[in-house]
Amino acid sequence: MRKVIIDPVIFTQFPDFKRGIIIVKDVENALSNKRIKRPLNKEIDKRVKEDLFEHPFIKAWDEAHLRFGSNPDKFPPSIKSLLKRIKKGGGFPFINSVVALFNYISIKYLIPCGGDDVDKIEGNLHLGFANGDESFIPLGGDDEEHPQPGEVIYFDDKSLKVMCRRWNWRNGDFSKITENTKRMVINIDGIGEVPQSLIEEARDELAKLLIEQCKAKLTTDLLNRDNREIEINF
C-alpha cells in the first residue's frame, strides 16, 4: 500500500505546516470548460488590482524558502509565481480543467495548490529534504537536474524522481496531470499564519468543484505534525 508521507524532520523546522489532501480515484479532465474559466477569470480580475506580495500568506512562504536555503525571489513559491503572472496581464493558459481549478483555488485563497498523476509514481509520495542524488526533469523540459542537498522536495521515494523542487517552486514533468490522468493526489498547503481551517475550506471547495465539473470520485484528508502520513486507497 502506497502512502503520502511528510518526513518528521520537516515538522522539526516547520511545526505549523499543514497539507490538505484530495485523493482522486477517477476524473474526467477536459481541455476546455467555460464553467471553470468564468470564475477563474473573475478571480484574476480581482487579484490584478491588489498588491499582495506583502500579504502574510505570501510572506510566510518567502520565509519558509529562506529557512531551507532557497531564494524566493529567484525561485518563487508557486502562489507568488501565479500573482506575478497576473500582474503582467493575460491571465493563465487553460491547460485542462483540473489544473485550472488548482489555479482558481490558489489565487482565491493565496495558497499553493497542485497535484500529481499517481499512476506515474512507483513508490510513496514523500515530502522531505533532498540528499542531492534525486533526479528532476522540469515541466516541459528534457534535461535532468539534481536538487541541492537540504532542499525541500516532493518525490517518489522508490524511483527518486522529483515531483516538485523547492517545496512548491517548479513541478516535474513525469507526474504532470494531463487530460488522460485518472488517478491523482492533490495538495493544498499552508504554513505560518495560514490557519488549518482555511486549508480545510480550500480543500473542500476544490473537492466540490472537482465533483461538479469533472465528475471526480474522491476522498479528502489532512496532514500535519500530528498526522504525518496517510495510505492511498484506490
Q: Where are the domains of the chain?
A: 3-229
pLDDT of residue 96: 97
pLDDT in tens, 180-189: 999 999 999 9
pLDDT in tens, 32-83: 999 999 999 999 999 998 999 999 999 999 999 999 999 999 999 999 999 9
pLDDT in tens, 71-100: 999 999 999 999 999 998 878 889 999 999
Q: Which helix (H) or strand (E) holds 9?
A: helix 8-13
Cell numbers representing residue 129 in the block: 529534504
Q: What is the mean pLDDT of the chain?
A: 96
- pTM surpassing 0.95? yes
Per CATH, which fold does 3-229 belong to?
Phenylalanyl-tRNA Synthetase; Chain B, domain 3 (3.50.40)
pLDDT in tens, 130-144: 999 999 999 999 999
CA 35/CA 53 separation, integer angstroms = 29
| pLDDT, average across residues 139-153 | 96
CA 16/CA 191 separation, integer angstroms = 6
For residues 224 and 10, is the Cβ–Cβ distance under 8 A? Answer: no
* Distance, first Cα to last Cα, the chain: 10
